[in-house]
Structure 1
Amino acid sequence: MTPAARGAQAGACPFCAIVSGESPAQVVLETEHTVAFLDVRPVFKGHTLLVPRRHVVTLPDLPADLLAPYLTATQRLASAMVEALGAQGSFVAVNNVVSQSVAHLHTHVVPRTRGDGLRGFFWPRTKYADGEAAAYAQRLRQALDGGA
């Protein structure tokens, strides 16, 4: 999907409706560039979603000028989980397209305590064959270096 097509979908975006005040939410943080609100289906009480005010679909789509404000707000929320809720830490996650239930960038900040029952990602694990890890690393380095 092109950035223009993604932007066209912003009108039907439930997170844009929260940002604009059209839909109610339990807002916990508002900055010039971000809004954070409680998830209506929390993993644990206090589970918060952070979104950019601007309709952006995935983290790779986030403009460079919003990276620092977005990460700063994420950091503030992670600290607040400990201070305000007595959590021992937090889980911070972003889905890009796969498992992304709303097509608007959102970061989950979830309070965590030892023994809370959350047992990781439940992802299957695999192993690299001999030499395969080096090949994967090389492919990623090439992509990061602009395809060189």
Structure 2
Amino acid sequence: MDCLGCRIANGIEANVNVVYENEFVTCVLDIAPFNEGHLLILPKKHYWDLEDINSETSYAIMDASKKLSVVLKVLFEPAGISICQNGGKFNDLTHYHMHLIPRYEGDGFAWSEPFHPHGAEKLLSQTQAKILSIINEH
């Protein structure tokens, strides 16, 4: 199996700290955690991006995120939890994975401003119309 994400999710990769799994997903501690308890949720079947995932697996990912968010809140008492996923060329694992990151005030985790202003905030109604036209086509 060439995909590291597939090897992790299917118990082939060594030295993985699994915290939860079912027939669709495996949840592991991130090896480079932003904060203690930083988790990854990986589907056992190979998917690259969110839109590729079937409904059953999508549900399993969200269900695991709910269960594990409760666990993280009980154990680490964070101020909140950030849930994120990087798709396309930003998917460094080349296998869909969702991050659950316990967060604390002043921990340095940030949603940054764009490096190059693009004015998208001035185009909200036009952007809405574009999105709705594609939704209505499908």
Give me the TM-score of the superposition, normalised by structure 1: 0.82
Show the counterpart of 2:68: 77
Please list, as runs of the form range in 1=range in 2, the aligned pairs for 1:1-148 lying within 5 A after superposition: 11-24=1-14, 25-118=16-109, 120-124=110-114, 126-128=118-120, 132-146=123-137
- For residues 39-76 of structure 1, what are the alpha-carbon distances to aligned partners after superposition, in whole Å with 9 as ceiling and x for unaligned? 11111121110011111111110112222221111111
- Counterpart CA distance in 2 for 1:129 and 1:30 is 41
- Unpaired runs of 5+ residues, structure 2, are none
Aligned length: 135
Identity among equivalent pairs (%) = 23
Runs of 4+ in structure 1 deviating by more than 6 angstroms, as ranges, are: none
C-alpha spacing 1:126/1:86, structure 2 compared with 1 (3 Å): same
Give me the TM-score of the superposition, normalised by structure 2: 0.88
The Cα of 1:13 is off from its aligned counterpart by 0.7
The Cα of 1:19 is off from its aligned counterpart by 2.1
2:64 counterpart letter in structure 1: A
The Cα of 1:123 is off from its aligned counterpart by 3.0
- Counterpart CA distance in 1 for 2:88 and 2:44 is 19
- Counterpart CA distance in 2 for 1:133 and 1:19 is 39
Q: Is the 2:84–2:100 Cα contact (8 Å) retained in structure 1?
A: yes
The Cα of 1:105 is off from its aligned counterpart by 0.6
Superposition RMSD in Å: 1.8
The Cα of 1:127 is off from its aligned counterpart by 3.2
C-alpha spacing 1:52/1:129, structure 2 compared with 1 (3 Å): closer
- Unpaired runs of 5+ residues, structure 1, are 1-10
- Counterpart CA distance in 1 for 2:129 and 2:56 is 29
C-alpha spacing 1:139/1:16, structure 2 compared with 1 (3 Å): same
- Counterpart CA distance in 1 for 2:104 and 2:12 is 34
